[in-house]
Amino acid sequence: MRLGIISALAEEQHGLIEALQSPYKLVHGMREYTGGKLWEIDAVCVLSRIGKVAAAMTASILVEKFGVTHIVFTGVAGSGDKNVKVGDIVVAEELVQHDFDASPLFPQFEIPLTGLSRFATDTALTQRLATAAAQTTRVHRGLIASGDQFIGKLTQIQGLKAAFPDLLAVEMEGAAVAQVCFELGIPFAIIRTISDNANDNAAVDFMHFIKTVASRYAYEVIENFCKA
């Protein structure tokens, strides 16, 4: 196994680079890839930057240039359900691109020529991540929606919840990684700590959360995951 670990922002991956043994660095396409041993696991860590295209490019390069065999995305997300609270963790079982709409040629949300609107995460990796996360905080498993929008208005999150009643969290990268991994046949998992409620307070809560809690969670969960 060679594990690719992606986060959008530095705060979401804090400490992991420092934890890599015998690290090596390579800059490619405006990103710095750092490889090495992470608690006995051969790993490559990278910041994707923000949004679906950025995440898709990063996942593709990890596979094609760095030879990773598995991918985990760790970061923060807005809540998509009243039972999912700030500080909880959501481990994705399915991902959807909530801003994808090629209708009337294809059904809304369906990714053309795949026949799918939802991409499933790898069962074994997801189970291992959820078990690792449960040692840190409360864990939910289910649907995460991604789009090239920060969801920061109550009406926006209400609209998404109406479209996806089983929605647990919203973010901006996971479903892009999911599509790339589906197309390349790479097992993947997505874990998100809830930083805000994707409502009118989202931007302020998000900024506060990533500065305080996000980094500690990512580190703890990945450590437990690698040691398992």
Residue from 48, 126, 195, 215 binding ligand ADE (CB under 6 A): 195
Closest residue to ligand ADE, based on beta-carbon distance: 78
Task: Assess whether 101 carries a catalytic annotation.
Answer: no
Question: How many residues in the shown chain lie near ligand ADE by CB under 6 A?
Answer: 14
Q: Is 205 helix (H, G, I), strand (E, B) or coil?
A: helix
- Find how far residue 3's CA is from the centre of its chain: 14
Residue from 196, 217, 223, 224 binding ligand ADE (CB under 6 A): 196
Does 81 engage in binding with ligand ADE (CB under 6 A)? no
Residue from 43, 55, 202, 214 binding ligand ADE (CB under 6 A): 202
**What does DSSP say about strands 89-97 and 188-196: parallel, antiparallel, or unpaired?**
antiparallel
What span, in angstroms and rounded, lies between the C-alpha atoms of 55 and 61?
A: 10
Active-site hit among 94, 171, 173, 196: 196
Report the sign of the C-alpha dihedral through residues 91, 37, 182, 125, in that order: negative
Distances 171 to 2, 32, 42, 73, 168 between C-alpha atoms, Å: 25, 22, 27, 12, 10
Task: Assess whether 12 carries a catalytic annotation.
Answer: yes
Measured from the CB atom, the residue of 20 and 172 that comes closer to ligand ADE is 172
Exposure string over 36-68, b if 16+ CB within 10 A, otherwise e: bebeebebbbbbbebbbebbbbbbbbbbeeeeb
Active-site hit among 12, 88, 173, 223: 12
Query: Which residue matches tokens 């074994």?
Result: 124
Residue from 100, 109, 206, 217 binding ligand ADE (CB under 6 A): 206
Q: What are phi and psi of 143, to 5 degrees?
A: -85, 130
Does 78 engage in binding with ligand ADE (CB under 6 A)? yes
Does 84 engage in binding with ligand ADE (CB under 6 A)? no
| Shortest spacing between CB 224 and ligand ADE, in angstroms | 22
Residues contributing to the site for ligand ADE (CB under 6 A)? 76-78, 150-152, 170-172, 195-196, 198, 202, 206
Known catalytic residues are 12, 196
